[in-house]
């Protein structure tokens, strides 16, 4: 069965965006970029919440006309060819061949995705979809990239929820700046 891996960048004080919604603080150095690209090459699909999907769908199809950053240019073809799923209660369809789930029974729809053949599913960023899937006990691994910045407020990585036990399975430093903490669900 495929697994869902939640990959998220956070500040040292636990926020995924600053007080005004800013996401200009993560540093994508060479080592972190190489790790990210290798992981994205191996997964069977990307999962997004609606808000992150709208940002991704507006950026990656035209990235070559917007950015010259080597990571962006290397990731764009991966993004284009990798199957995409959007978790949303409001969308009925999505561009770029993305599938939308989140109707009456999100748990059943996502469980069916996990049962399909193929590589693992990578849930990228966002707190809403991650919170919903965490609440349904559908996320198998949490990959939290901690960046050396204190935002002093904003959107927390985890919305208030029930207590959840996790087990640290790996940690790694990238570019002498960011730290990856990999956790698995207990039990």
Residue 11 forms part of a structural domain: yes
CATH of the domain at 127: 3.40.430.10
Give pLDDT, residue 16.
Answer: 95
**Does the residue 56 lie in any domain?**
yes
Task: Say what the pLDDT of residue 47 is.
Answer: 97
44 found inside a domain:
yes
Chunked into runs of 10 residues, the chain (187 residues) has average pLDDT values of: 96 96 93 97 96 93 93 96 95 92 91 96 91 93 97 88 88 98 88
pLDDT for 160 equals 65
In a domain, 182, yes or no: no
The verdict on residue 172 lying in a domain is: no
- Evaluate whether residue 16 is within a structural domain: yes
Full residue range of the structural domain in which residue 30 is found: 4-164
DSSP string, 120-173: -EEEES-SHHHHHHHHTT---EEEEEEES---SSSEESS-S-S---EEEEEEEE
User: For residue 124, what pLDDT is reported?
Assistant: 94
**CA nearest 100: which of 81, 119, 113?**
113
Nearest to 83 by CA among 42, 44, 49: 44
């Amino acid at each position: 069965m495929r697994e869902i891996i939640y990959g998220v960048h956070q500040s040292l004080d636990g926020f995924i965006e600053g007080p005004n919604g800013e996401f200009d603080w993560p540093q994508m150095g060479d080592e972190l970029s190489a790790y990210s690209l290798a992981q994205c090459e191996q997964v069977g699909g990307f999962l997004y919440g609606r808000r992150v999907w709208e940002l991704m769908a507006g950026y990656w199809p035209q990235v070559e006309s917007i950015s010259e950053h080597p990571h962006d240019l290397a990731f764009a073809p991966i993004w284009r060819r990798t199957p995409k799923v959007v978790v949303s209660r409001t969308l009925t369809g999505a561009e770029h061949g993305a599938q939308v789930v989140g109707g009456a029974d999100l748990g059943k729809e996502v469980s069916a995705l996990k049962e399909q053949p193929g590589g693992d599913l990578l849930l990228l960023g966002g707190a809403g979809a991650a919170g919903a899937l965490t609440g349904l006990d559908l996320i198998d691994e949490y990959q939290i990239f901690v960046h050396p910045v204190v935002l002093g407020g904003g959107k927390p990585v985890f919305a208030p929820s029930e207590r959840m036990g996790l087990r640290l399975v790996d940690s790694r430093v990238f570019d002498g700046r960011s730290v990856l903490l990999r956790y698995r669900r207990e039990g």
